[in-house]
Amino acid sequence: MISQDQARNIALVCLDVDGTLTDNGVYIGRVATPEGAAVELKRFDIADGLGIKMLQRAGIEVAFVSARESVATAMRAEELGVKYVYNSRSIPKVVALQELTSALGIPLEQVAFVGDDLADIPVLKRVGWPVAPANAAPEVKALAKVQLARRGGDGAVREFVELVLRASGEWDNLVAQYVADAEASGVPAS
């Protein structure tokens, strides 16, 4: 599906958030205090997180590109050391993509974008590697060069990461390094 040369050429992986890094669900409520501050929670997949760390170890830039303002998204990005986060309603995804690729000096053909819904179509049409999780809208799947077997929030991002890093021939070394680092830190690898 992706050749070794193609995989080695990918320099930036952009990830939609809702429905790609999550199951598309959003828990909305209020804290049970007199002030009752509003809260919004999302559920992220831990295996996706490790996949993102592996991309970073391989020298591939990672960005979260969402059109929904969310503290949960910002917190998850910070936890994973993802430096590029767009989660503002006022910045269309296409503008975010243009800003990011010109700031990083990465041509669009070296960008992969994983997205599940109609809002992603404008960006998916522009990048070299449009990718759809299993739950993506039919219109998104029709555009995608890579269709994943797993759903957003259930390992779709990890599946894509492994696809790229196995195709590039780097996966086994990255795993060996990860395990060695985990052993050196005294924390059992699990």
Positions in the binding site for Mg ion (CB under 5 A): 16, 18-19, 116-117
Our CB check for Mg ion shows the closer of 141 and 166 to be 141
Our CB check for Mg ion shows the closer of 123 and 161 to be 123
Least Cβ distance, residue 131 to Mg ion (angstroms): 12
Our CB check for Mg ion shows the closer of 19 and 153 to be 19
Give the position of tokens 């680092």. 181
Pick from 94, 15, 108, 86: nearest CA to 55:
15
1-5 LR contacts (CB < 8 Å, sep 24+)? 1/146, 1/163, 1/167, 2/129, 2/146, 2/163, 2/164, 2/167, 3/167, 4/167, 4/168, 4/169
* Secondary structure of residue 81 in the 3-state scheme: coil
Our CB check for Mg ion shows the closer of 57 and 141 to be 141
Q: Which residue is nearest to Mg ion (CB)?
A: 19
| Phi, then psi, of 104 in degrees rounded to 5 | -90, -10
Sign of CA dihedral 179, 11, 83, 127: negative
Least Cβ distance, residue 142 to Mg ion (angstroms): 16
Least Cβ distance, residue 78 to Mg ion (angstroms): 20
Q: How far is Cα of residue 174 from the mean position of the Cα atoms in its chain? A: 18
Our CB check for Mg ion shows the closer of 44 and 170 to be 44
Least Cβ distance, residue 133 to Mg ion (angstroms): 9
Least Cβ distance, residue 51 to Mg ion (angstroms): 18
